[in-house]
Structure 1
């Protein structure tokens, strides 16, 4: 029995094993593995085509120095996409609704882009902290503001992913509870509520895909500033 509306976001365990670890292995299980055959299956060919289209769209505006990050971005996209969408199934758990997991992705990857810029182009990376043409009296204030905004990026990156998924799941939980309560009392109103729940589920599927893409896209933009 659900104790409160936020109880569904508690990381569940089964026989002492956290289901978060099992959920993270699903992308490597459900996706077909490339083979050495001349002809691939339809599923494998479609998967390869989608990955190529995503990689081309993501890396086309980036400099050549960012292209080695393609494998990392594609893997991260597949992982987030799988965990976000599988969480919409009944009796499942969405790991990305946990802020600890979202921040575990956001902070190291953001830090990697910053360290890349500091190593490859130190002057350009430090120049981002001070806009061109700044008056001399405002230089210390603007440096502090830009530094704070730089360190807020990973927090905003992780919070955006968690907050959007959490809000959608809460709405689905509340609407489904209303439909369950109204079913014996007002069946017609409950039927309308079920229809609304179905439309909200479709919206949440779109949100799960979009949030995974936005997460990777923002990381690519941070990388673009440092290569």
Structure 2
């Protein structure tokens, strides 16, 4: 039972070829591209409005120097939202349930923010390792703690996204299995369980969007410390 339960998180393959490549590239084909016309379609206009709104929200905690990251952060958030939401469809695979993929996204972005800070303002960046006004005897201990906290950030980013999506998928799978098992015996209870499943699915859609937003928002906070 447990093997079947976790099979949904295995990277699918067809004729020995991993299908995760298609799962990662398909989201970009779903978004319409702006044209050279004077007026774009309603879909393109609505898409542009959403992009501008959450780009504005993402860059609120970042000063003007960090606005150079707007395009890549917006693209990352759009990519994560699409992957997370598409993974809730039947017979689909969610790449963001793989810790390796999430770490592959979190580690380079985190390292880029750190290197940006060390290049532009090395004194201020290193100053974050020691809070102002620290008593002299506590200085070595706090430097070690803050250094560990700095290096654990990408791990926290990757694990947070993986754990939240994995837990939601497992819960949906368990409740769906309960609906199928209860349907022949207790129809009323099965219908109530199906209602819970529908509400949980709506909640998971919200979680998929929120977790993508939190992932990118934390990156903007790390960026703010280094620009």
**TM-score bin (small chain):** over 0.9
* Counterparts of residues 63-142 of structure 1 (less than 5 Å): 63-142=63-142
Aligned-pair CA distance for 1:59:
1.2
My pick for the range that moved more, 124-133 or 10-19, is 10-19
My pick for the range that moved more, 84-93 or 177-186, is 177-186
Is contact 1:2–1:8 with CA below 8 Å preserved after alignment? no
Question: Which structure 2 segments of 5+ residues have no match?
Answer: none
Aligned-pair CA distance for 1:2:
8.4
TM superposition outliers: structure 1 runs of 4+ over 2 Å: 1-4
2:32 corresponding residue in structure 1 = 32
Is contact 2:129–2:146 with CA below 8 Å preserved after alignment? yes
Query: SS at the partner of 1:5?
Result: helix
Q: Is the aligned partner of 1:53 residue 2:53?
A: yes
My pick for the range that moved more, 44-53 or 2-11, is 2-11
Distance (Å, rounded) in 1 between the aligned partners of 2:100 and 2:61:
31
RMSD over aligned Cα atoms: 1.2
Q: Is the aligned partner of 1:11 residue 2:11?
A: yes
Distance (Å, rounded) in 2 between the aligned partners of 1:60 and 1:142:
30
Aligned-pair CA distance for 1:57:
1.6
Aligned-pair CA distance for 1:26:
1.5
Is contact 2:76–2:216 with CA below 8 Å preserved after alignment? yes
* TM-score, length of structure 1 as denominator length: 0.98
Q: Is the aligned partner of 1:190 residue 2:156?
A: no
* TM-score, length of structure 2 as denominator length: 0.98
Aligned-pair CA distance for 1:15:
2.2
Aligned length: 227
Distance (Å, rounded) in 2 between the aligned partners of 1:65 and 1:200:
41
Is contact 2:61–2:220 with CA below 8 Å preserved after alignment? no
Is contact 1:32–1:44 with CA below 8 Å preserved after alignment? yes
Q: Is the aligned partner of 1:163 residue 2:163?
A: yes
My pick for the range that moved more, 9-18 or 88-97, is 9-18
Query: SS at the partner of 1:184?
Result: coil
Tell me the alpha carbon deviations over residues 19-46 of structure 1, each in whole angstroms, 9 at most, x when there is no partner: 2100111221000011111100000000
2:172 corresponding residue in structure 1 = 172
